[in-house]
Structures are given as C-alpha cells and as structure tokens.
Homo-oligomer: A and B are copies of this chain.
Amino acid sequence: MGRWEADASGRLREAALQLYVERGFEQTTVAEIAKRAGLTARTFFRYFADKREVLFAGSADLQHNLVGALEVAPEAASPMQAVAAALDAAAESLGQRHEHSRQRHSVIMANAELRERELTKMASLSAALADGLRRRGVPEPDASLAAETGIVVLRVAFGRWISEPHPAGLAQVMRETLDSLQDVTAAR
C-alpha cells in the first residue's frame, strides 16, 4: 500500500470515529465520513465494506500479531506462558492510543449491532489462538481453555485500562489481570 493510500484509510477511520462520537453511529452516513476526511464515498468503499467495518479495520492486524507472538514463543513455554506472550503483543497493538480506544469502545457499547460484531471478533481471536496452541502441540481441552481465558484477560484488562483516566501501560494491566486470574482460579 502506498503512503497516500495508508493515509486515506487512516483519515477515514479518524473521521468516522469523530462523527460517531459527535452524532452517534446510527445517525452518521458514509457520505459524511468521506466528506469529513476530504475524500469521496467511492474511496471509502475501496477500503471498507460499510460504516460498521471501519471500526474493526484493525482486527486482522491484531489477530496476526497475537498468533505471530504464539509462534515465536519458546518451545518449552507452557500454554499460558505462550498466551501471555500473545497478550504482550496485543498490548503493543492496542495500547498506543488511550483516548482513541476509549472513544471507539464507547461507540461500540452504545449499539447492539456493534457489540455483536465485537463479540464475533473476540470469538475469532480466541479460535485463532486455540489453533495456534494446537499447532504447538497443546492437546484439547487445554488449548481451548488457555486461548479462551487469554481472551477473557485481554477483555477485562482492556476494559480496566480504558476506564482509567491516566492508566499504567496496557501491557502492565494485562500482566496484573493475568496474575488475578491465576489467584481466582487457584482458590477452589
């Protein structure tokens, strides 16, 4: 992708989020997003299928980074150690823009269709992590359990991180949440 094109995609994503925050997701049209970005609706549709997908454009990169981190984790790593490495990579992907993330999350939570899309995205991430663990030789049900609890940690940690005005880095919040998970599940 050329530099100008990457910029067009980024401008459309920023413009969409601004408008969703200002007017609400339902009230915003693709034409308005394109206009705010100084582009045409035709250009919008070169990058995104619809006004919903513009909010989820980072999903494929996130999944790629998570699965990639699993793959390079040391062979001797336990399933949860490999998942912890994937969560560090997720924090790297997700933890850069706090205010942007907070706004995006509040737009998603305000709309049932977007919440469903977010749940579907999390289910895909979880399935991809479980696949990656099975490729590492982790048997079932351990692969699914480690992957799904990893995604639980990601979601809970992300929720805590965006709800605090001046949080620690997301990677640190993830590690603390993983420690809490271990304490909670051990106390039986």
Contact = CB atoms under 8 A, between A and B. Distances in A.
> Interface residues of A toward B: which range?
35 or more
Given A142-B180, A180-B141, A180-B142, A185 B149 contact: yes
Contacts of A146: 184-185
B184 A81 contact: no
Copies of the protein in its oligomer = 2
Interface string A8-33: 00000000000000000000000000
Contact of A141 (B119, B160, B187): B160
Contact of A84 (B123, B160, B182, B188): B188
A63 interface: no
Given A144-B156, A145-B180, A180-B141, A185 B123 contact: no
A186 to B, nearest CB: 6
A110 to B, nearest CB: 16
Contact of A119 (B119, B149, B183, B185): B119
Given A78-B188, A116-B120, A141-B160, 12 more contacts: A80-B185, A142-B180, A144-B159, A145-B152, A145-B153, A145-B177, A145-B181, A149-B181, A181-B185, A182-B186, A185-B186, A186-B186
A79 interface: yes
Contacts of A142: 180, 183-184
Interface string A77-90: 01111001000000
